Structure 1
Amino acid sequence: MEKYWVIQKVGEGTFGSVWSAINKQTGEVVAVKQMKNKKYHSWEECINLSEVKSLIKMSSHPNIVKLREVIREHDILYLVFEYMECNLHQLIRKRGRRVFSEDEVRNWCFQVFHALAYMHQRGYFHRDLKPANLLVSNNVIKLADFGSARKINSGQPFTQNITTPWYRAPEVMLKSPTYTSAIDMWAMGAIMAELFTLRPLFPGLNGADQMYKICSVIGTPTDNSWPHGLRLARGMNYQFPYLPGVHMSIFMPSVSDDATSLIRSLCSWDPFKRPTAAQVLQHPFFHKCYYVIPPSPRTTPAAYCQQNTNTNKNTAVIGIQAGIC
């Protein structure tokens, strides 16, 4: 860490604190995440973290935050990222009553769904999508905080205590052992609605209230809409509250039908009825956005890593660079 001047703390989470810093050699401003509550006694332990492994695979995407370096110093682990100005949660709080325009929401969500399509196609899902984990600089938005990211085929059952409750898919709340990347799509539906209204769509106070809030918006699930969910509920002796739900336009009266229909499909009870990220990009809501040309096979971006030999036995560094296959 000697090559960085630490400036100030910019964030605090369960597993680490984030600081802004300046690279003394290049002058670049970066974000340094110091992992806490654990000593890292070997280099292998660091690079085998799911957060590190997933970011090394995906840092080349323009809408996924770039991991610059992994540093282990005196058994403390530091992850050095590109610096972003703020997160979406902060932007929402600063707006007051001035809602975002539909074009602004479309632009941000288009970028996020591109990143999710890239991530899901490579066999990973995020599992903790929320406004605070979407970083913004100059109208560019990037997925961040991959601490909960996992391989989709890494073996089930998956952990139940993931995602922030307001963005947690109902199958996770009902302790399904076989949830999929569809939980990311549910979270994005809730985030889209929040961007339009500046208020959380499902702001539950606890698990029971969270489910009540969901039912009050999209209606109680039935044997036709989500039979598997009813079986999960019976298995844990849970009784859904009976509520008819309301049309999304009640919450977002000035929003287009294309936007509300997309949010409704993303917030489907049945995860198999939610569109994939790739399918969402074809939705009429995003037809205005089509300027992206798919890369040819010869120019597919990739990431590779290179270990830097350091004379200090207490320090190890891995640099993450963009490469071309």
Structure 2
Amino acid sequence: MNRYTTLKQLGDGTYGSVLMGKSNESGELVAIKRMKRKFYSWEECMNLREVKSLKKLNHANVVKLKEVIRENDHLYFVFEYMKENLYQLMKDRNKLFPESVIRNITFQIMQGLSFIHKHGFFHRDMKPENLLCMGPELVKIADFGLAREIRSRPPYTDYVSTRWYRAPEVLLRSSMYSSPIDLWAVGCIMAELYTLRPLFPGNSEVDEIFKICQVLGTVKKSDWPEGYQLCVPTPLKTLIPNASNEAIALMKDLLQWDPKKRPTAVQALRYPYFQVGQLLGPRPLSSDLRKTQMKPADPKPDLQSVSEPVLKYSVKAPGRNSHQPLQQIPLPQNFSQTESLADSVKQEQPHNLQKVRSQK
């Protein structure tokens, strides 16, 4: 590494950091990627996917690997220097690209990708950050750390590519994907070039699929049979093993996508789930409650002269250990406790009850 002088850090990733350097012999600017893990043999270095792929890929739209250096068990890749990446190019714009510029950028990406696929590799991590630029005039595909050979045998890992550019077959956990996932990513990048905003900015894998469905609609069997099979539902019986078959049948019909296919309340009541010889509906009152309801009311007393019973009604505030009593509510003797509590709380304490509900 004594043949290069490092000038500044350009970036830092999971696997390595990138420095801007200069050749001491020619003065040429280079980008030096220093891998974070240590390498104890040349064979180990040469087996890296990034080295394997870039050794074979020499194209105007693929970043050029100039040199590989192993020094004190640290590995360095020396690349040609590029001014910025496509994400930075878009971020710094204060107005949209003309379509002619987008067409030229997309053409260069497609040219580089066509060459990569033709030579037996697919990238697996196409995104604006991995497309290096010298302004919009020159674009090169970079970062082959996740690249795979097309002829290599699946299954592959399902966690590849940044989520916003991840193809549906990967999001749906297929392990049999190939080079078409790179083309999906280019479609996303192309849309972003027009709007300067990501097309599917999901904040999770589920949200990502939802955002794709918002734009493309839900997948149909005729559109993509294999993908349709990947959208396998989980049986309700698996999720609710303690429910009877009759309960599952009712829930399944109530949870139809199409509202027209769901039963009405009247139809639902006719389902076998309810036809089991069980007494359903309001329960008969207990004898004590029946007596309370049938007790004739006394003449209205003078509330100021009656020594009335007092009920303390308290509500536990969420997240606290102490009870906070509301107001002491006087109960006239001619009211049952049940009626008085409901009516008095309703009349006297609307503010407090509303406050408690808003805390939930």
What TM-score do the two structures reach when normalised by structure 1? Answer: 0.71
Distance 1:202 1:17 in 2: 28
2:210 is the counterpart of 1:218: no
Partner of 1:135: 132
Which of 157, 160, 163 is equivalent to 1:159? 157
Deviations 1:130-165 (A, max 9, x none): 000001114110000000011011111011111000
Distance 2:110 2:193 in 1: 15
Question: In 2, are the aligned partners of 1:190 and 1:200 still within 8 Å (CA)?
Answer: yes
Deviation at 1:207, TM superposition (A): 0.7
Deviations 1:10-59 (A, max 9, x none): 111111110000010110000000111x210001111111100100100x
Deviation at 1:236, TM superposition (A): 7.1
Distance 2:257 2:72 in 1: 56
Partner of 2:105: 108
Distance 2:82 2:108 in 1: 15
Deviation at 1:6, TM superposition (A): 0.4
> Taking structure 1 as reference, are residues 236 and 87 closer, same or farther at Cα in structure 2, changes over 3 Å only?
farther
Distance 1:108 1:232 in 2: 34
Partner of 1:255: none
Distance 2:75 2:257 in 1: 49
Partner of 2:30, secondary structure, is strand
Instruction: Compare relative contact order (CA 8 Å, sep 6+) and give the higher one, 1 or 2.
Output: 1
Matches within 5 A, 1:86-97: 86-96=84-94
Amino acid across the alignment from 2:164: W
Distance 1:14 1:107 in 2: 31
Matches within 5 A, 1:1-325: 1-36=1-36, 38-58=37-57, 60-96=58-94, 98-138=95-135, 139-234=137-232
Amino acid across the alignment from 1:21: G
Question: In 2, are the aligned partners of 1:23 and 1:30 still within 8 Å (CA)?
Answer: yes
Amino acid across the alignment from 1:87: N
> Taking structure 1 as reference, are residues 242 and 30 closer, same or farther at Cα in structure 2, changes over 3 Å only?
farther
Partner of 1:77, secondary structure, is strand
Distance 1:135 1:208 in 2: 30
Amino acid across the alignment from 1:122: H
Question: In 2, are the aligned partners of 1:215 and 1:242 still within 8 Å (CA)?
Answer: no
Question: In 2, are the aligned partners of 1:220 and 1:242 still within 8 Å (CA)?
Answer: no
Distance 1:242 1:230 in 2: 16
Distance 2:127 2:172 in 1: 20
> Taking structure 1 as reference, are residues 206 and 26 closer, same or farther at Cα in structure 2, changes over 3 Å only?
same
CA RMSD in angstroms comes to: 1.8
Q: How many pairs were matched up?
A: 238
Segments ≥4 residues shifted beyond 4 Å: none
Amino acid across the alignment from 2:107: F
Distance 1:233 1:7 in 2: 51
Distance 1:173 1:75 in 2: 37
Partner of 2:107, secondary structure, is helix
Query: Where in structure 1 are there 5+ consecutive unaligned residues?
Result: 244-325
Structure 1, 188-197 or 129-138: larger mean CA deviation: 129-138
Taking only the aligned residue pairs, the percentage that are identical comes to 51
Distance 1:79 1:50 in 2: 13
Deviation at 1:235, TM superposition (A): 7.0
Partner of 1:274: none
> Taking structure 1 as reference, are residues 242 and 227 closer, same or farther at Cα in structure 2, changes over 3 Å only?
farther
Amino acid across the alignment from 2:54: L
Deviation at 1:226, TM superposition (A): 1.4
Amino acid across the alignment from 1:118: F
